[in-house]
């Protein structure tokens, strides 16, 4: 059975979202049709506003309404540290922790030869320029994911930054709180042993 064109287009639109297949997209489309008119209008306006009213910070690459972003404008933050993340959403995760008070830099991805992503496709040049222009920065904390691509990106950044005399550190990886050693894979255990701290 073929759906009417508006439903088919809506299903197709939902399928463009990551992790959404045909069945989920169909369920979301019919859920949208059942929504109140005002709710659908607000939903549509939210999508348009997110696309039109947001931009990337010219300093760190974070998503913001104003350029530069709130974090880059905040002079009370620790100006000596820059935490490098893969995506802007990672900043929100770090901020929710409420323990890190330095600056950020968003790479917009990681090195991935398979996907054809090289250094020129990432926000690396602006990071290097930022480090050259700001003598206050003493440490770059690389917070890429513990994937092969994330590790390769971390090593690449380290080789680029270390010659400038800026300290380059990496977030510790290993066992999560509350997990059992017997369920951990070898790489997780290796990172846990490698990143051990004195008690």
Cα 137 from Cα 114, distance rounded (Å): 33
The phi and psi torsions of 144 (rounded to 5 degrees) equal -75, 160
Structural contact between residues 120 and 161, judged by C-beta atoms closer than 8 angstroms: no
Residue 164, preceding peptide bond in cis (omega within 30° of 0): no
Q: DSSP secondary-structure letter at 112?
A: B
* Range 165-192 burial, b when 16+ CB lie within 10 A, else e: eeebebbebbbeeeeeeeebeeebeebb
Other beta carbons less than 10 A from residue 135's beta carbon: 9
All domains in the chain, ordered by first residue: 5-53 (1.10.8.420), 76-169 (3.40.1360.10)
Taking the chain (199 residues) in runs of 10, the rounded mean pLDDT of each run is 92 96 97 96 96 96 96 97 96 92 97 94 96 95 92 95 94 77 76 70
Q: What residues are paired with 139 via a beta bridge? A: 81, 167
Cα 37 from Cα 119, distance rounded (Å): 46
- Answering whether pTM is above 0.85, one says no
Q: Tokens 């990432």 sit at which residue?
A: 122
């Amino acid at each position: 059975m073929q759906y009417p064109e508006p439903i088919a287009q809506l299903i197709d639109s939902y399928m463009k979202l990551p992790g959404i297949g045909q069945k989920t997209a169909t369920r979301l489309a019919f859920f949208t049709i059942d929504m109140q008119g005002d709710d659908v209008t607000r939903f549509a306006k939210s999508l348009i506003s997110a696309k039109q009213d947001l931009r990337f910070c010219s300093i760190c690459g974070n998503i913001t309404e104003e350029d530069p972003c709130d974090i880059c404008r905040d002079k009370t933050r620790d100006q000596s540290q820059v935490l490098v993340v893969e995506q802007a959403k990672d900043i929100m995760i770090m901020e929710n922790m409420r323990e890190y008070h330095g600056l950020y830099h968003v790479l917009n991805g990681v090195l991935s030869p398979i996907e054809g992503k090289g250094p020129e496709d990432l926000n690396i040049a602006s990071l290097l320029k930022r480090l050259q222009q700001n003598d206050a920065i003493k440490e770059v904390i690389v917070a890429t994911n513990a994937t092969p691509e994330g590790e390769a990106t971390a090593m690449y950044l380290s080789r680029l930054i270390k010659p400038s005399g800026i300290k380059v550190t990496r977030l510790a990886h290993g066992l999560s709180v509350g997990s059992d050693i017997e369920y951990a894979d070898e790489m997780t255990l290796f990172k846990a042993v490698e990143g051990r701290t004195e008690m």
